């Protein structure tokens, strides 16, 4: 893909989020409340790692409106550098940081992740739902991996190839047959506990109307980890259980399509097809 096309994709994605960032609440106060409830708890492996107190320097790539960076600074007291290319998202992230009193531990930087070249390396680099929106997820993965220090950790969340297919097809069918409002109503029904209308709309746009996304498998990501000298520690694919047997993990992820079908269609539960990995760079 040419450099010009790469820039065009980045520009399109930035414009999409300038209109409305992801995970965006009606007010900064609402967002601060969510941060205070510690949303990191929804990622048990990340919570356990941060709870160990050994993680001081954290870098978040693609922090968006800042829920994870602010939650880490508030609830685990780490120093967080957070990067995103979207001004509107960073403005909100900074506002929330002021409200919760973590300004001394957070630094928000506006940059394209590919241009971000910090001087030092980090104990933990995290990137949740970001790399698959770039012009080259693999290149982005390699770039963020290089920012992990010896003995440090990488936490990445990506769209899952098999798990995502069902979800996207369901919404493409509704969009083409009944239009955007019907698709939004279906999305809202799947996400019944999400009450804030602005927040819900920001999720809907991001998960259903996005102009650029790719999907990936754990098998693929395990190769990327190997090539970057990182060891897999845990993944949401098997519910954060033992990861010693890769063949079992590959079988677990093969079941993701059926799981997505039963969640989204039969149980009416939101299942967008997303997975996380936690990995470590050996000392």
Provide the binding-site residues for ligand SAM, judged by CB under 6 A.
10, 13, 17, 21-23, 62-64, 67, 84-86, 89, 112-113, 128-130, 133-134, 206
Nearer to ligand SAM, 202 or 249 (CB): 202
Nearer to ligand SAM, 20 or 250 (CB): 20
How far the first Cα of the chain sits from its last, in Å, is 36
- Cβ partners under 8 Å of residue 90, min gap 6: 63, 66, 84, 108, 110
Decide whether 139 or 246 has the Cβ nearer to ligand SAM.
139
Nearest-CB residue for ligand SAM: 64
Residue among 6 and 219 whose Cβ is closer to ligand SAM: 6
Smallest separation (angstroms) from ligand SAM to the CB of 266: 27
The contacts found for 49-56 with CB under 8 angstroms, 24 or more apart, are 49/124, 49/153, 49/155, 49/278, 50/75, 50/76, 50/78, 50/124, 51/76, 54/123, 55/123, 55/124, 55/153, 56/123
Nearer to ligand SAM, 64 or 152 (CB): 64
CB of 55 to ligand SAM, least distance (A): 18
> Nearest distance from residue 144's CB to ligand SAM, in Å?
10
Nearest distance in Å: CB 213, ligand SAM:
9
Given a contact cutoff of 8 angstroms between Cβ atoms, the answer to whether 10 and 85 are in contact is yes
Q: Compare residues 113 and 249 and give the one whose CB is closer to ligand SAM.
A: 113
Q: How far is the CB of 56 from ligand SAM (least distance, A)?
A: 21
Min. distance of Cβ 104 from ligand SAM in angstroms? 22
Query: Given the complex with ligand SAM, which of 90 and 99 has the nearer CB atom?
Result: 90
Q: State in angstroms the smallest separation of the CB of 254 from ligand SAM.
A: 26
């Amino acid at each position: 893909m040419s450099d010009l096309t790469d820039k065009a994709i980045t520009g399109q994605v930035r414009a999409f989020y300038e209109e409305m960032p992801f995970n965006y609440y009606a007010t900064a106060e609402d967002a601060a409340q969510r941060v205070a409830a510690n949303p990191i708890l929804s990622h048990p492996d990340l919570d356990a790692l941060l709870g160990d107190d050994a993680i001081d320097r954290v870098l978040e790539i693609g922090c968006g409106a800042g829920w994870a960076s602010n939650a880490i600074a508030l609830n685990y007291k780490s120093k967080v550098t957070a990067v995103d290319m979207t001004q509107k998202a960073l403005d909100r992230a900074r506002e929330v940081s002021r409200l919760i009193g973590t300004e001394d531990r957070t630094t928000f930087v506006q940059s394209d992740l590919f241009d971000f070249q910090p001087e030092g390396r980090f104990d933990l680099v995290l990137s949740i739902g970001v790399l698959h929106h770039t012009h080259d997820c693999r290149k982005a993965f390699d770039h963020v991996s290089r920012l992990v220090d010896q003995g440090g950790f990488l936490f990445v969340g990506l769209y899952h190839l098999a798990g995502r297919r069902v979800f996207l097809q369901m919404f493409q069918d509704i969009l083409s047959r009944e239009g955007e409002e019907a698709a939004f109503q279906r999305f809202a029904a799947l996400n019944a506990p999400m009450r804030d209308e602005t927040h819900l709309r920001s999720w809907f746009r991001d998960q259903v109307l996005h102009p650029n996304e790719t999907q990936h498998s754990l098998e693929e990501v395990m190769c990327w980890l190997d090539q970057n000298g990182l060891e897999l520690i845990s993944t949401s694919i098997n519910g954060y259980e033992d990861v010693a047997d890769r063949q079992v993990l590959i079988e677990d992820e093969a079941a993701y399509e059926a799981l997505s079908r039963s969640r989204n269609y039969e149980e009416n539960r939101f299942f967008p097809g997303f997975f996380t990995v936690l990995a470590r760079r050996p000392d």
